A and B are shown apart, each in its own frame.
Chain A
């Protein structure tokens, strides 16, 4: 049973190294091909993400975060290299299989006219059925469990459009959970939330990932929110991705170079300080 959100744990869980690898990139290049010109956003990208791990993807605007995420979720082809999910190459995977393995939470406002919370969550079951079937009785349990895990039981029956931004993003999380993904990709999920909403959202993601069956990638500008609690830090910049954890010198360098960010320790807690100087 999931614990209530707590701010107490300050260090990322030490994830056992023998956990199953869910997402893997080998020397990947991502970018855009427009007619004959190819724009490479990031190249030589390699990472290994295991079950239960949270990777924080940071970088300034235009550094290629979104391009990388779009490529990982298969919305845009890779320029080179291979991304494997559960050992299978992503770019050869049919849409529906991919959707059964990767779920997303976006900053897009979730305002489907007339749909209620449980109906939006039920949409997560779509990729598990064919063209016509939306969900069946065996899905009810999954849908209910997803609603409970995201802590939105009290919102059942409400229309999504009348919820607050924070509540709506929790619905988005529940919807993604109902998809039963192996990889949960969150693209700026806290963009429109107030500080309390951001903190709740982040601790929810961390708790669900640690206790869940999936790995999460969270792209965000809220460095102090995501970095101290992530198992992996991915810094996009200078056309490549620096991968490591917050103790790595390379990661700290990249954070300082790209974002002017420094890791500060106080009372055993880590924080991110950002300098506005050039």
Chain B
């Protein structure tokens, strides 16, 4: 291109700036908040997995019967009603809540630490929750027979202990992250904290009664099964608060994406925002861990899947998408774990790891900053 032609092209470009780009860029910003087909797809996906999860099991209940049991007061036979209402529905609700909560908590941690591989299991937050649970359950002399079968009052205690354990570890790892630059160092430090906390839990298990120890070990394998409706209620309240706080923070989380110094320059109260992010993540991780055991990989993998699906980085969109996809994926893992027609149940963590670990590998290989 000759220099005069280039100048002309530039002049034309500049001249057009007055009006045309106003329309163009405005439309671009608005357009992206309306990826409606992605929302429809995610909602349909979740709904069909919910129906599948209620239909499938040791006894097959056809989807039409499932729907009649769910939506009419007299629908379905008594056996089907019992199976659906006392076994499969609590299990489904637990998986949905746990999946949404763990995934959103992973998203929050990835933003808070500005680290694409941050997650409650890697940073030791789940381990902190486990320690909280272990202290309440193994340390108490009362007759809590088996973990995962909490009575009403102890469900609150366990949830609180678990959330407190999560937030203490989170604060500690965040303090480490303030001192080190490298995101990989922070991850390794988090793993070490997780190991230390895990060792403390082992010591507690060693000194507890055989029954308590056995049920603790079973709990620590992770499962969405066997929750009662009162536990589901508790889980709903705790994760509901956590998710609500996360949604309320979506603007501040966007600011955090630029880094702490930019966030402060936007007038953000960094300490307050961090504290609220920690509260939200700790409630989500803590409550889920209390009732389902420590469950890995959903927190890392789902936010990346959500970014891929909605092609969006703003949190007000990403949080909802992450919750929807997390719920679907957790439920899918639960269905796979109890492979239809087979009585054996695979540990849920094996399935989440099989699905989640490859996502982590892809992120590692793709991300320049991490692989350097």
Are A and B interaction partners? yes
A-to-B contact residues, CB < 8 Å: 1, 4, 73, 75, 95-100, 102-104, 106, 108, 110-116, 118-120, 122-124, 126-127, 131-134, 137, 140-141, 143-144, 147-148, 153, 156-157, 159, 179
A95-B268, A123-B254, A132-B248 given as contacts; is B313 within 8 A of A113 (CB)?
yes
B-to-A contact residues, CB < 8 Å: 10, 13-14, 17, 21-22, 24-26, 28-29, 32, 110, 116, 248, 251-252, 254-255, 257-259, 261-262, 264-269, 307, 311-314, 316, 318, 369
B267 touches A4 (CB 8 A): no
Residue in B17, B28, B262, B307 whose CB lies within 8 Å of A104: B262
A112-B258, A113-B116 given as contacts; is B10 within 8 A of A140 (CB)?
no
> Chain B residues near A110 (CB, 8 Å)?
258-259, 262
A108 touches B314 (CB 8 A): no
A95 touches B262 (CB 8 A): no
Question: Once the chains are docked, how many angstroms separate the CA of A147 from the CA of B116?
Answer: 28
> Chain A residues near B267 (CB, 8 Å)?
95-100, 126-127
Question: Once the chains are docked, how many angstroms separate the CA of A127 from the CA of B264?
Answer: 10
> Chain A residues near B26 (CB, 8 Å)?
137, 140, 144
B257 touches A157 (CB 8 A): no
B25 touches A143 (CB 8 A): yes
A127-B266, A147-B21 given as contacts; is B307 within 8 A of A114 (CB)?
yes
B32 touches A131 (CB 8 A): no
| Minimum distance in angstroms from B349 CB to a CB of chain A | 26
Question: Once the chains are docked, how many angstroms separate the CA of A180 from the CA of B110?
Answer: 30
> Chain B residues near A133 (CB, 8 Å)?
251
A95-B268, A95-B269 given as contacts; is B29 within 8 A of A112 (CB)?
no
Question: Once the chains are docked, how many angstroms separate the CA of A195 from the CA of B266?
Answer: 30
Residue in B22, B258, B269 whose CB lies within 8 Å of A123: B258
Of all A-B residue pairs in the complex, the 7 with the closest CB atoms, nearest first, are A114-B313, A99-B267, A112-B257, A115-B313, A127-B267, A96-B267, A140-B26
20 contacts between A and B (CB under 8 A): A75-B265, A95-B268, A95-B269, A99-B268, A100-B267, A103-B265, A111-B369, A113-B307, A114-B307, A114-B318, A116-B28, A118-B28, A124-B266, A126-B255, A131-B252, A134-B254, A143-B29, A144-B25, A153-B13, A156-B21
